[in-house]
């Protein structure tokens, strides 16, 4: 009954579709990345250029800066999101305030589901230099208004703030799911040994939190490589290139500078990073699956 | 600790001796709820304010609501059409992903062979793909083929993230169905296709629905592909919302009304699957 032919028929649609919309465009991008390719300047021709696009990307200080900024952004957001998320998870794992806890659990879904582009729109509204709420809070302290999105030092913070609003619930819900998985017997045994909350956390709960935490950290790193919607809407990468993370920079080169050859080379380099991250993720989390 | 003594403790404690931890936890929970809901509330509130109230400084907290921005956005700027485009793209891509992905999930759940792990890895890894990597070649190909600004181009590219979601979640569901059921059906003369379609699939409808809702949410929320691949005719709602964002005198009321109309349906859907949201977002690494 379970013939190989039947199996292949079941698999064929998925394999064919993903070859068509996944692999074929990638091969095309690889091809473009090795040529002169500027569709606004067809006069230059579309010839091979001996890895010139890759040399250009690897020696482009803006590219390295955008990559560095991506990691700076991760450094700004991940610790905050993790600590806030852990705090929320521990609160939601308590046994008191049942009604408030269930309201909070439902509320946490809102940021996660909100369209990232719309999060950017709300960010523009809240951080507006004339009438934004952020500036209202600033003037309450007696200081003059600030142009959050026009100041190179503050714009990245504003973007990080909205990112933190959207993704802290992800940390919270994952860590809460992990806390729920801690066996009750282990908690009981530990409470016989110690009545310090910290010991219970450090020696009993923490080991259960680690896998979920690792999952979220890898996914959030991959997300930072992809992060586009929020920034494009809030700042277009500006002012200057103060919020230009690597995806936004690639999009600018490909679709606003229109040098597709160079943009394709960047895309291929990003793809390598993506493959490494996804391999890592799957290695860690699906060892037992097969 | 049994359930009974925790409840007795929780009720007895505050009366006997006000517990600082208990009170602080309550305050913290209220802060969390307010902080989580506030930006959403502010968007909805702004969409219902008059232009003067939106631009007021200090901000206005009480106001007479108006629906004028919704009327303007929907009919004058034609966000209605963009919402329809978004709906068509999300529904079509979700439907196709189910049609194509569930048989593959069945094969992965029921057969074992060398190389299965690699195939599975390749399918799932599409979920990690950075959209900018595919957007560029897709744009150039669509331009060459003359299918720019076409909803079906978007439907096709959205399959790259929808198929992995379906395959992963549904495969997990199929594995939970005992193999003996399909074998019994085949002994009774059914083909493997019938075993899949009539025996296994009906038993896993809830899981299939969860994967469909997740696909819908991801497709509905997508911006970059839509921004690059559509113009006026097939513009989706997130692109329409961002296209307001140019020039100085921004139509904030219309922008927030559009944002609200985009976000409301996804939030409702996400609440329906909230128990599965974490599994969906981590591709099952966290149950």
Cβ contact A225:B130 at 8 Å: yes
Contact B55 A95 (CB under 8 A): no
Closest CA–CA distance from residue A188 to any residue of chain B (Å): 7
In this prediction, residues A245-258 reach a mean pLDDT of: 90
Q: ipTM greater than 0.90, yes or no?
A: no
Count how many Cα atoms sit within 13 Å of the Cα of residue A162 in the half-sphere of its side chain: 32
Closest CA–CA distance from residue B235 to any residue of chain A (Å): 14
Cβ contact A226:A247 at 8 Å: yes
B66 touches chain A (CB under 8 A): no
Instruction: Sort out which chain B residues have CB atoms less than 8 A from A174's CB and list them.
Output: 278, 282, 286
Contact A14 B241 (CB under 8 A): no
Query: What was the pLDDT predicted at B174?
Result: 92
Q: Which two tokens stand for residue A34?
A: 């090795």
Closest CA–CA distance from residue A153 to any residue of chain B (Å): 22
Q: How far apart are CA B133 and CA B226, in angstroms?
A: 14
Query: pLDDT band for position A280 (50/70/90)?
Result: confident
Among the partner residues A215, A233, A290, nearest to B282 by beta-carbon distance:
A215
| Spatial CA neighbour of B42 closest among B17, B64, B60 | B60
Q: Answer yes or no: is pLDDT of B34 > 90.
A: yes
Contact A105 B274 (CB under 8 A): yes
Closest CA–CA distance from residue B177 to any residue of chain A (Å): 16
Q: From residue A282, how far is each of A67, A222, A277 by CA, in Å?
A: 24, 13, 9
Query: What was the pLDDT predicted at B284?
Result: 74
Closest CA–CA distance from residue A129 to any residue of chain B (Å): 11
Among the partner residues A10, A178, A289, nearest to B286 by beta-carbon distance:
A178
Residue to test with chain A: of B2, B36, B188, most A Cβ within 10 A? B36
A100: nearest CA partner in chain B: B29
Query: What was the pLDDT predicted at B229?
Result: 93
Partner B, chain A 42-101, Cβ-Cβ below 8 Å: 87-88, 91, 94-97, 100-101
Query: What was the pLDDT predicted at B16?
Result: 52
- How many other β-carbons are positioned within 10 Å of the β-carbon of residue A116? 23
A284: nearest CA partner in chain B: B285
| Residue showing tokens 């920079």 | A249
Query: What was the pLDDT predicted at B7?
Result: 45
Partner A, chain B 247-266, Cβ-Cβ below 8 Å: 252, 255-256, 259, 262-263, 266
Partner B, chain A 175-194, Cβ-Cβ below 8 Å: 177-178, 181, 184, 187-188, 191
Q: A101-112, pLDDT tens digit by residue?
A: 999 999 999 999
Query: What was the pLDDT predicted at B20?
Result: 87
Q: Answer yes or no: is pLDDT of A288 > 60.
A: no
| CB-based burial, B248-269: b 16+ in 10 Å, e otherwise | eebbbbbbbbbbbbbbebbbeb
Query: What was the pLDDT predicted at A287?
Result: 63
Query: What was the pLDDT predicted at B188?
Result: 87
Q: A149-195, pLDDT tens digit by residue?
A: 999 989 999 999 999 999 999 999 999 999 998 998 888 888 888 88
B242 touches chain A (CB under 8 A): yes
Q: Answer yes or no: is pLDDT of B275 > 90.
A: no
**Angle subtended at Cα A143 by Cα A138 and Cα A148, rounded to the nearest 5 degrees:** 50
Q: How far apart are CA A269 and CA A58, in angstroms?
A: 10
- Residue A35 forms beta bridges with which residues? A48
Instruction: Sort out which chain A residues have CB atoms less than 8 A from B186's CB and list them.
Output: 1
Q: How far apart are CA A267 and CA B265, in angstroms?
A: 33
Q: How far apart are CA B256 and CA A96, in angstroms?
A: 37
Q: How far apart are CA B270 and CA B277, in angstroms?
A: 7
- How many H-runs (helices) and E-runs (strands) does chain B carry? 16, 0
Q: Answer yes or no: is pLDDT of A131 > 80.
A: yes
A104 touches chain B (CB under 8 A): yes
Q: B139-195, pLDDT tens digit by residue?
A: 989 998 999 999 999 999 999 999 999 998 899 889 989 988 888 888 888 888 888
Q: A19-71, pLDDT tens digit by residue?
A: 999 999 999 999 889 988 887 777 777 788 878 889 989 999 999 999 999 99
B199 touches chain A (CB under 8 A): no
Q: From residue A103, how far is each of A92, A224, B31, B39 by CA, in Å?
A: 10, 30, 12, 17
Residue to test with chain A: of B22, B132, B140, B145, most A Cβ within 10 A? B132
The residue with greater pLDDT, A82 or A212, is: A82
Taken in order A238, B255, A132, A117, the sign of the CA dihedral is negative
Query: pLDDT band for position A16 (50/70/90)?
Result: very high
Residue to test with chain A: of B53, B97, B128, most A Cβ within 10 A? B128
For B61, phi then psi, to 5°, come to -105, -25
Contact A290 B116 (CB under 8 A): yes
A157 touches chain B (CB under 8 A): no
Query: What was the pLDDT predicted at B12?
Result: 46
Contact A113 B35 (CB under 8 A): no
Query: pLDDT band for position A244 (50/70/90)?
Result: very high
Count how many Cα atoms sit within 13 Å of the Cα of residue A81 in the half-sphere of its side chain: 25
Instruction: Sort out which chain B residues have CB atoms less than 8 A from A88's CB and list them.
Output: 32
DSSP letter (8 states) at residue B59: P
| Three-class secondary structure assignment of chain A | CCCHHHHHHHHHHHHHHHHHHHHHHHHHHHHHHCECCCCCCHHHCCCECCCHHHHHHHCCHHHHHHHHHHHHHHHHHHHHHHHHHHHHHHHHCCCCCHHHHHHHHHHHHHHHHCCHHHHHHHHHHHCCCCCCHHHHHHHHCCCCCCCHHHCHHHHHHHHHHHHHHHHHHHHHHHHHHHHHCCCHHHHHHHHHHCCCHHHHHHHHHHHHHHHHHHHHHHHHHHHHHHCCHHHHHHCCCCCCCCCCCHHHHHHHHHHCCCCHHHHHHHHHHHHHHHHHHHHHHHHHHCCCCC
Contact B136 A95 (CB under 8 A): no
Q: How far apart are CA B83 and CA A238, in angstroms?
A: 29
Q: Which two tokens stand for residue A78?
A: 């991940």
Cβ contact B93:B166 at 8 Å: no
For A237, phi then psi, to 5°, come to 95, -10
Instruction: Sort out which chain A residues have CB atoms less than 8 A from B271's CB and list them.
Output: 106, 109, 113
Instruction: Sort out which chain B residues have CB atoms less than 8 A from A46's CB and list them.
Output: none
A96: nearest CA partner in chain B: B10
Q: Answer yes or no: is pLDDT of B14 > 50.
A: no
Closest CA–CA distance from residue A10 to any residue of chain B (Å): 5
Query: What was the pLDDT predicted at B57?
Result: 85
Query: What was the pLDDT predicted at B121?
Result: 86
- Coil, helix or strand for B29? helix
Query: What was the pLDDT predicted at A1?
Result: 58
Cβ contact B254:B73 at 8 Å: yes
Query: What was the pLDDT predicted at A284?
Result: 81
Count how many Cα atoms sit within 13 Å of the Cα of residue B200 in the half-sphere of its side chain: 32
E strand segments, B104-244: none
Query: What was the pLDDT predicted at A51?
Result: 85
In this prediction, residues A140-146 reach a mean pLDDT of: 88
Q: B117-142, pLDDT tens digit by residue?
A: 889 889 988 888 888 889 989 998 99
**Angle subtended at Cα A272 by Cα B156 and Cα A222, rounded to the nearest 5 degrees:** 75
Instruction: Sort out which chain A residues have CB atoms less than 8 A from B274's CB and list them.
Output: 105-106, 109
What is the residue-averaged pLDDT of chain B?
Answer: 88
Query: pLDDT band for position B98 (50/70/90)?
Result: very high
Query: What was the pLDDT predicted at B153?
Result: 93
Q: Which two tokens stand for residue B36?
A: 């989580």
- Coil, helix or strand for B212? helix
């Amino acid at each position: 009954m379970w013939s190989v032919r039947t199996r292949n028929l079941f698999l064929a649609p998925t394999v064919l579709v993903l070859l068509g919309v996944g692999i074929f465009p990638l091969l095309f991008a690889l091809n473009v990345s090795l040529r002169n390719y500027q569709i606004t300047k067809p006069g230059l021709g579309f010839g091979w250029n001996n890895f010139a696009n890759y040399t250009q990307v690897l020696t482009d200080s803006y590219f390295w800066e955008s990559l560095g900024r991506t990691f700076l952004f991760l450094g700004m957001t991940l610790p905050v999101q993790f600590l806030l998320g852990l705090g929320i998870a521990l609160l939601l794992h308590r046994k008191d305030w049942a009604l408030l806890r269930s309201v909070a659990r439902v509320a946490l879904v809102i940021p996660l589901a909100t369209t990232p582009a719309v999060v950017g729109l709300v960010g523009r509204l809240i951080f507006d230099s004339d009438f934004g709420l952020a500036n209202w809070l600033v003037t309450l302290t007696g200081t003059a208004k600030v142009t959050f999105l026009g100041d190179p030092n503050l714009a990245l913070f504003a973007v990080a703030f909205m990112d933190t609003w959207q993704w802290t619930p992800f940390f919270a819900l994952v860590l809460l799911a992990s806390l729920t998985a801690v066996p009750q017997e282990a908690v009981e045994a530990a409470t016989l040994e110690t009545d310090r909350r910290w010991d219970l956390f450090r020696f009993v709960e923490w080991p259960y939190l680690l896998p979920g935490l690792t999952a979220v950290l890898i996914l959030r790193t991959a997300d930072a490589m992809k992060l586009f919607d929020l920034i494009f809407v809030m700042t277009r990468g500006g002012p200057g290139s103060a919020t230009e993370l690597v995806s936004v920079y690639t999009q600018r080169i490909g679709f606003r500078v229109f040098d597709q050859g160079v943009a394709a080379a960047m895309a291929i380099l990003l793809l390598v990073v993506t493959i490494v991250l996804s391999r890592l993720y799957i290695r860690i989390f699906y060892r037992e699956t097969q | 600790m049994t359930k009974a003594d925790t409840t007795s403790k929780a009720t007895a404690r505050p009366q006997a001796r006000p517990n600082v931890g208990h009170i602080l936890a309550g305050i913290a929970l209220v802060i969390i709820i307010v902080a989580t809901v506030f930006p959403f509330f502010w968007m909805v509130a702004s969409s219902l304010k008059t232009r003067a109230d939106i631009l007021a400084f200090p901000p206005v907290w009480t106001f007479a609501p108006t629906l004028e921005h919704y009327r303007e956005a929907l009919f004058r700027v034609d966000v209605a059409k963009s919402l329809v485009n978004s709906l068509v793209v999300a529904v079509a891509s979700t439907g196709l992903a189910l049609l194509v992905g569930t048989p593959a999930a069945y094969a992965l759940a029921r057969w074992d062979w060398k190389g299965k792990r690699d195939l599975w890895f390749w399918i799932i890894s599409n979920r990690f793909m950075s959209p900018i990597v595919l957007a560029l070649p897709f744009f150039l190909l669509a331009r060459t083929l003359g299918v720019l600004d076409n909803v079906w181009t978007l439907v096709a590219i959205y399959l790259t993230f929808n198929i992995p979601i379906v395959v992963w979640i549904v495969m997990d569901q199929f594995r939970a169905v005992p193999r003996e059921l399909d074998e019994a059906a085949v002994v009774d003369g059914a083909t493997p296709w019938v075993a899949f379609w009539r025996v296994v699939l009906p038993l896993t409808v809830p899981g299939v629905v969860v994967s469909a809702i997740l696909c819908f949410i991801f497709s509905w929320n997508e911006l970059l592909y839509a921004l690059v691949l559509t113009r006026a005719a097939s513009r989706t709602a997130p692109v329409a919302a961002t296209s307001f964002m140019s020039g100085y005198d921004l139509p904030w009321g219309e922008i927030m009304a559009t944002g609200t109309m985009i976000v409301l349906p996804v939030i409702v859907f996400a609440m329906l699957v909230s128990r599965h949201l974490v599994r969906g977002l981590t591709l099952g690494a966290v149950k």
